[in-house]
Structure 1
Amino acid sequence: MNTADPSSPAPLWEELVGAALLGTDRRTPAGTAPGRTAPAALLDAAAAETVRRRAGLRPGPAAPLPEPAAEDPRPALPAAAARRLHLLLAGRPGAGGGGRRGTAPDLMELLPQWLTAVNARGFAAPAESLPALLEAARGRTDLRLAALEFAGPRALWLARLNPDWRFALRATPGGGGTLPGPADTRRVEALWREGLFAERVALLASIRFRDADAARELLAATWPTERAEDRLMFLDSLRTGLNARDEPFLEQALADRSRNVRATAAELLSALPDSALAARMAVRAGACVAVDHTGDTPTLLVEAPHECDAGMERDGVSAKAPPGRGERSWWFGQLVEAAPLAIWPARLGGRGPERIVALPVADDWLGELHAAWCRAAVRQRDADWSRALLGPPSAPGAGGPGAVSLAERAKLLGTLPVAERAEWVAGFIAAHGLSEAFQLLGVCAVPWATPLGRSVVDALNIARDAGSYPWSFSGVMGLAERCLDPAEANRLDALLAVPDEPEDASPGAGGYWAEAFQRLGRTLRLRAVMTEELGPREPAAGEPEEGPP
């Protein structure tokens, strides 16, 4: 109840605030009687003053409206696919009690593939989905490139109005503006000299993709004035379209002040088999390896360099070995890695890659030599040497290829044609199971080719029947949900029942396996439906037919 005298003037806001801070026992506002009713009177007076202050504000000038968002000329997403997008963005990973994932597909894990498929068709994102799409990209960096491509210019317009979405502006050089082409020399020069670092990197990469020589000349014009860390990033862009005309510029970069820049320039030059650096490395590496015919079996002898001279350092050889590595083996590995692989048949008795790799190597140099050849095969994209170093998938530990680790095999597989890569991994799984194959599956094209997909399912079924611990295969099962061809869903029907558990099986393993196969089947069928909702896509000339996401 308000006990203030209605004829008294209204107290000032500052007076009310002071009374509230000090307490009505110590201070009562004007017109308010002290005592037990003073706190309620203070609140009543504050409420009335709040209304008065708000009503008494004079309207200020309206803020200017933002410029309208740019038009998105791409076709609208089909209605069914738009509803699917809403479900994917609202989805949460399926999980049951006790950490079990249950049998429902994990919608958030399907979103990256869905975005890839929708971008391939060139659809525009529905306007109402843009906030949720930006929120998903804010929380998951792996979604950002695909999500921003799909969201288009309107997402950048929103990002300028919401600080939480500023990552979209940083991820899109120029804030969404179209990068100039090589022919627009005035805009190119202005952006190259005045743009932010991310804008300059994007500009150089864009021009390099369309005109390799123009990009190199643009970089050369300001090279002496660039910071070392910027020079390194700019130099890395020359990997795209690397050609013999880049050699003079890269040779100059070998004298750069930055060791990292020199090392990158040397790596690029060694990828040009006819470059002067490659020839110098061929001489150095060739002097370190020879065939010994004095024994019963020809054997490779290795004589590692005894010093790292100034010429070697200029050509990118790092003189200081990492902890735990001997200096001579460290220098030797770098020389072999940078030497053209084409020198070895002539140097080693006319043998081809397979026969060279099969030769024994004296004095425990096999691991170092084969590891360097692996790095050279990956750098030079030499499929013949990659096949030799991989060896047959059924016996990857026999002979020379035994020195090749799983990580090295994964890189070597990346140099092979897609179909051959899948066939090799399928053979590896058939011979050795899934426990060693996870890294190798990651380099196979999606969706997996039929032989590879079936080898994965067969290996999972064998592991289930053996009563294996199911959680150790959760990573492979997750890959299968995203990478198996949906056409394989029908083959899973026979695996959906809870199997009889062997006596030595993990407790409850059969139930976990049944749930995992049910989720896999449902996910594959959902992926097939998602593809149908997007409609057909005409492949570009020379592009293979698209598989389901």
Structure 2
Amino acid sequence: MDATVTAADGWEPILAAALLGAERAPTAPPGPLADLITEPDPGAALLARLAAGGLNHLAGLDLAPDAMAPLAPREPAGRDCPPAAAMRLYGLLGGGHAARERLGEWFDLAAAARMRPPAWLHQALMLQGRSLPEAARAVVGPELAWLAGACGEAPEDESDEAPDDWTAGSLAERRAAFAAFRARDPDGARAALEPVFRKEKAEMREALVGALATGLSPADEPFLEACLDDRAGGVREAAQRLLPHLPGSLYASRMAMRAATALVIETKTRLLRSATHDLVVTLPEDSPTLARDGVTPNQWEQRGGGIRAGLLRDILARTPLRAFASHPPRLWLELALRGEWSEPILTGLFETIARERDPDWTRAAIDLLAEACEGKVAGVRRTNELIGRWVRAVDLLPDAEWEAAVTELIRARKIEVVLAMLGSGPEAFSEGFSAALVDWLAFVTRGSDDLRRDLAKPWVIGRLGERLWPSDDVAASAAALAARLPEQEGDRLRPQVTALSETLDLRVAMRREFETPTEETARG
């Protein structure tokens, strides 16, 4: 033991007392430990000194040489938020599930204002570090990491980081690490995987193939084609899910050839008459090559024409839209809509349209379905399924175009269709669209009881409070609408509109709490 340490902590006098006897022990050196010894009996005093010295020794036993070195100063992450915003955060941290859902919005507002929670909230934030929303990392993450280091703890997010070595660890850890590798270097990750791929277990092979979705490119095609012959079904299915996203691949070409065999447009031209078009459909047969590409019969297939119609649907869902370049998108869609096999053909085509997001096909589908729902397409009657397809087609538009399309429906008083459209669309509406939508809600509430019941369906108003623009004007309009609705027993509409108004009021208040008063206001 280091003599300087033992002399400093009083251990040598205690040792001497133990050897010479308590009566002949030297007096205790001055210091905080000596002041604690009050026993008059020499033996009891020796034991007390021994206990105090032992505790003093153990207290510093695990300290590293630099344990008492000061930490690097913490750089401020921005201005403290106003007290009202801080109190709001404190309430959200201690609230229930609904309050915790609002945390993400609070941190988004803090990031936009370049503000941070005050220091007195850091302990509460640290205690709930793992359950904080992702938006909190940018606002308070560095400060919580600094505080954790000051307390000798590992930062909460260290364990969430994907390990660098994708060849070791659990299945989830390796998949995450490989996905991160793909994000950094797509070709390098695939090249590293190929030599060792066959040595992995089936479950791991499936997970690693699925991770190729990150950074997927035509360069991955040869590897994915080889995976179609893997002995594990999960690996084959993982490759079959990715290959349709490569429209220039051999896989896509095989599907295009099958689609060309199954669907043919025959054009007949007559003298002094316009040409007529017919869609000739040849349902495909099951085959091993078709099964290799992931199209297999469903023995329980009943809806839309049976097993072979299901094969046609799945082929079209994997066929690139370039395979139909011989005719305009509108012609393909209209002939399919009018034909006997409309359900499997349109379902398959719509899946491909949604994947490729081709603007010409998207616009053709929207226009055709709008006309069909208005009774302007011969031989096609309006159904709920048809309206549902129209809703899904409009949902493929960018947010601004979706709002423009629904605004036109509002102006045209297409109430039933607007009700259906509100089940999809952007997560957040613009201010102008929000104002128009609240006015429309007021118009519908003045309508018939049937319209009010339709408006009270869960998907219509349920999430509008989260999606409407949180401005004072929009919130005031919603509050006025809620106040005007009569209270009726069993009426679900008034509670829903009231909840919408309360949510908007809360969101407006949160934004107001981040506003800092001007100098003149502060002086006043």
Query: TM-score, normalization: structure 1?
Result: 0.65
Q: Measure how far apart 1:391 and its partner are.
A: 3.5
The answer to whether structure 1 residue 172 and structure 2 residue 173 are counterparts is: no
For 1:83-136, what per-residue CA distance to the aligned partner results, in whole angstroms no more than 9, with x for missing partners?
A: 5254234239999xxxxxxxxxx7544322233454577876656535534665
1:439 maps to 423
Query: How has the CA–CA distance of structure 1 residues 341 and 452 changed in structure 2, closer, same or farther, with 3 Å as cutoff?
Result: same
1:4 maps to none
1:304 maps to 283
2:294 maps to 316
1:369 maps to 345
Query: How has the CA–CA distance of structure 1 residues 509 and 167 changed in structure 2, closer, same or farther, with 3 Å as cutoff?
Result: same
The answer to whether structure 1 residue 529 and structure 2 residue 512 are counterparts is: yes
- Taking the aligned partners of 1:81 and 1:225, their CA distance within structure 2 comes to 58
Query: How has the CA–CA distance of structure 1 residues 130 and 235 changed in structure 2, closer, same or farther, with 3 Å as cutoff?
Result: farther
- Taking the aligned partners of 1:510 and 1:380, their CA distance within structure 2 comes to 39
Q: Which of residues 437, 457, 460 in structure 1 aligns to 2:438?
A: 457
Query: How has the CA–CA distance of structure 1 residues 381 and 494 changed in structure 2, closer, same or farther, with 3 Å as cutoff?
Result: closer
The answer to whether structure 1 residue 483 and structure 2 residue 467 are counterparts is: yes
Counterpart mapping for 1:470-509 below 5 A: 472=456, 476-477=460-461, 479-487=463-471, 489=473, 492-493=476-477, 496=480, 498-499=483-484, 501=486
1:115 maps to 107
2:334 maps to 358
For 1:217, give the aligned amino acid: A
Q: Measure how far apart 1:440 and its partner are.
A: 1.0
1:5 maps to none
- Taking the aligned partners of 1:157 and 1:485, their CA distance within structure 2 comes to 36
The answer to whether structure 1 residue 329 and structure 2 residue 309 are counterparts is: yes
For 2:506, give the aligned amino acid: T
Q: Measure how far apart 1:376 and its partner are.
A: 0.8
Q: Measure how far apart 1:287 and its partner are.
A: 0.5
Structure 2 spans left out of the alignment, 5+ residues: 1-49, 270-274, 518-524
- Taking the aligned partners of 1:72 and 1:240, their CA distance within structure 2 comes to 39
Q: Measure how far apart 1:373 and its partner are.
A: 0.6
For 2:107, give the aligned amino acid: L
* 150-159 vs 448-457, which moves further: 150-159
1:240 maps to 214
Q: Is the 8 A contact 1:393 1:424 kept in 2?
A: no
2:22 maps to none
Q: Measure how far apart 1:279 and its partner are.
A: 0.6
Q: Measure how far apart 1:368 and its partner are.
A: 1.0
For 1:456, give the aligned amino acid: L
2:227 maps to 253
Q: Measure how far apart 1:278 and its partner are.
A: 0.6
For 1:125-159, what per-residue CA distance to the aligned partner results, in whole angstroms no more than 9, with x for missing partners?
A: 656535534665766xxx54334555526657889
Q: Measure how far apart 1:418 and its partner are.
A: 2.8
Q: Measure how far apart 1:216 and its partner are.
A: 2.2
Structure 1 spans left out of the alignment, 5+ residues: 1-54, 96-105, 175-187, 535-549
For 1:409-451, what per-residue CA distance to the aligned partner results, in whole angstroms no more than 9, with x for missing partners?
A: 666556433321332344456523554234313xx153x1245
Query: How has the CA–CA distance of structure 1 residues 266 and 378 changed in structure 2, closer, same or farther, with 3 Å as cutoff?
Result: same
- Taking the aligned partners of 1:225 and 1:285, their CA distance within structure 2 comes to 37
For 1:25-73, what per-residue CA distance to the aligned partner results, in whole angstroms no more than 9, with x for missing partners?
A: xxxxxxxxxxxxxxxxxxxxxxxxxxxxxx9896482474698999797
- Taking the aligned partners of 1:86 and 1:225, their CA distance within structure 2 comes to 56
Q: Is the 8 A contact 1:75 1:123 kept in 2?
A: no
Q: Which of residues 280, 283, 302 in structure 1 aligns to 2:254?
A: 280
- Taking the aligned partners of 1:71 and 1:337, their CA distance within structure 2 comes to 58
Q: Measure how far apart 1:248 and its partner are.
A: 1.4
For 2:187, give the aligned amino acid: D
Q: Measure how far apart 1:265 and its partner are.
A: 1.6
- Taking the aligned partners of 1:71 and 1:479, their CA distance within structure 2 comes to 46
Q: Is the 8 A contact 2:82 2:516 kept in 1?
A: yes
Q: Is the 8 A contact 1:69 1:157 kept in 2?
A: no
Q: Measure how far apart 1:320 and its partner are.
A: 4.2
- Taking the aligned partners of 1:345 and 1:154, their CA distance within structure 2 comes to 57
- SS of the aligned residue for 1:61 comes to helix
1:390 maps to 366
Q: Measure how far apart 1:319 and its partner are.
A: 4.0
- Taking the aligned partners of 1:322 and 1:157, their CA distance within structure 2 comes to 59
For 1:336, give the aligned amino acid: L
Q: Measure how far apart 1:209 and its partner are.
A: 2.9
The answer to whether structure 1 residue 224 and structure 2 residue 209 are counterparts is: no
- Alignment length (residue pairs): 443
- SS of the aligned residue for 2:456 comes to helix
1:146 maps to 135
Q: Measure how far apart 1:250 and its partner are.
A: 1.5
- Taking the aligned partners of 1:170 and 1:455, their CA distance within structure 2 comes to 47
Q: Is the 8 A contact 1:292 1:301 kept in 2?
A: yes
2:34 maps to none
For 1:303, give the aligned amino acid: T
- SS of the aligned residue for 2:264 comes to strand
For 1:247-271, what per-residue CA distance to the aligned partner results, in whole angstroms no more than 9, with x for missing partners?
A: 1121122222232332332332222
For 1:472, give the aligned amino acid: A
- Taking the aligned partners of 1:508 and 1:268, their CA distance within structure 2 comes to 48
Higher relative contact order (CA 8 A, sep 6+): 1
Aligned-residue identity in percent: 24
- SS of the aligned residue for 1:485 comes to coil
2:29 maps to none
Q: Is the 8 A contact 2:329 2:360 kept in 1?
A: yes
- Taking the aligned partners of 1:196 and 1:69, their CA distance within structure 2 comes to 38
Q: Is the 8 A contact 2:251 2:293 kept in 1?
A: yes
CA RMSD of aligned residues (A): 4.6
- SS of the aligned residue for 1:452 comes to helix
For 1:342-394, what per-residue CA distance to the aligned partner results, in whole angstroms no more than 9, with x for missing partners?
A: 11131xxx2x1123212255763101110101111122232322232334786
Q: Is the 8 A contact 2:403 2:433 kept in 1?
A: yes
- Taking the aligned partners of 2:283 and 2:219, their CA distance within structure 1 comes to 33
Q: Measure how far apart 1:284 and its partner are.
A: 0.8
Q: Is the 8 A contact 1:305 1:328 kept in 2?
A: yes
1:40 maps to none
For 1:431, give the aligned amino acid: K
Q: Measure how far apart 1:288 and its partner are.
A: 0.6
**Larger gyration radius, structure 1 or structure 2:** 2
For 2:104, give the aligned amino acid: P
Query: How has the CA–CA distance of structure 1 residues 500 and 482 changed in structure 2, closer, same or farther, with 3 Å as cutoff?
Result: closer
- Taking the aligned partners of 1:70 and 1:315, their CA distance within structure 2 comes to 59
Query: How has the CA–CA distance of structure 1 residues 383 and 494 changed in structure 2, closer, same or farther, with 3 Å as cutoff?
Result: closer
Query: How has the CA–CA distance of structure 1 residues 156 and 237 changed in structure 2, closer, same or farther, with 3 Å as cutoff?
Result: farther
- SS of the aligned residue for 2:465 comes to helix
Query: How has the CA–CA distance of structure 1 residues 120 and 236 changed in structure 2, closer, same or farther, with 3 Å as cutoff?
Result: farther
- Taking the aligned partners of 2:71 and 2:302, their CA distance within structure 1 comes to 57
1:90 maps to 91
The answer to whether structure 1 residue 215 and structure 2 residue 196 are counterparts is: no
For 1:61, give the aligned amino acid: L
